[in-house]
Structure 1
Amino acid sequence: KAKTTPENYPLSINALMNGCNQKSNRAPQMTLDEGQVQDALDSLRKSGAVALIQGDGRVEKFRHLLYDWLGVEKAELAVMTELLLRGAQTLGELRGRAARMEPIKDIGALQPIVDSLRQKGLLIYLTSPGRGGVVTHNLYQPQELTKVRSELGSGEVDEGPSQPMAPPAGVSASGMSRDPHSPTIAYRADAAPPASKSTDNGDLQELRGEIAALKREVAELREQAESTASELQRELNDLKSQLGV
């Protein structure tokens, strides 16, 4: 929201709840109440990821501290934002969406950003890198990442090195944030796919990634069509009411 609607940022709890519960451009979709949003904010504040900037009788508003917390630049944060909002996606999808927040001309311009995030342990490939490659963020808990891989039909494409890579800024090697009482976040560093992976298996993973991406696009188009149809129906009803039909 800081990038797309800066005039409405920082955000109140109510604005945050509405954003979290937005049905378009979200995967997974959620239905959170104010208490759940407040609990999440409290946890994120302890972790050093969010700050309260307005209070004392006025409406409380919050801003993120992700540049420092994750140790990323503007374009990197745009990419991470899209991955956190939508989950796994192809590089082509990711480029088009992240470019709405920061200028990313083409896949060639996206690749070094992806490589940098991968080196920081913030992004992983779910399929073999290359044509149709699918990536996602690496902030999942282990059981969540297993579910994501299962839904995509991918195996362990990215293998972590024997020694963990440096965690994001503000997070210790044990996976804890600056605050020792904040919850543990799973950061898994990833490396290139093992050389033992066969070419056929890599092609199969790419095809699975492309199929999954197409399914997501179809679902999004269906949702957009339904939303447009509902809006047109409301406008038609309003017009009929005005005309006394």
Structure 2
Amino acid sequence: MSEIITIKNLPENERPQERLLRYGAESLSNAELLAIILRTGIKNENVIQLSNRVIKTQGGLNGLLGSTAEDFKEIKGIGLSKTAQILAVAEISKRFRSYKSGVDYKISKPKDAADLVKESMKSLNKEVLKIILLNTKNVVLCIKDVSMGSLNSSIVHPREVFIEAVKKSAASIIVCHNHPSGDPTPSKEDINITCRLKECGKLLGIEFVDHIIIGGETFISLKEKGIV
């Protein structure tokens, strides 16, 4: 019976951990970095080979960092423990690149809002709607997920959008959602929902500042388009 090959079983000059400490993390491939996190391979496949297969299966590093637990269920060699390890690192990466933890983050222009959520949304394979809650000085109070799935009026109900704003006594909100296709061009439904939410905001006394659509590395502000 073949044994499970760990990093320690590899020749010393091939061990990712030793190479990282000697030459720096930037010298390692994506598969080698993932191998350090996963630690062990499986029968007939060392940890670097396993890591390389996982990255390819998920469509590259961006796909890996945008994956959910469900995405790993059918990947041989990735059980619950390794799934949790990957998802934890992915979340740390998103938080580091997207959120200004412990520091006030002020929204002065649409790009500020887009930069705040883009890293966590650009690689998602489903549409997700988030709201950014702001105080009277346009400082971010928090960011909340509202819905997941195709964006339409039956899923995006004003009640779900504004309930957190009321709870947090937010002065205004910015709605953000992603287009998995990578094209941020607003659909007719996107525009209809925007207009509906803007009117509801007026009734509640909570300003609807903007609707940001993320498409890969790009974004569109419906405020800049004159729709909000």
TM-score of the superposed pair, with normalisation by structure 1: 0.26
Query: Higher strand share goes to which structure?
Result: 2
TM-score of the superposed pair, with normalisation by structure 2: 0.27
Flag the structure with more relative contact order, 1 or 2, with Cα contacts below 8 A and sequence separation at least 6: 1
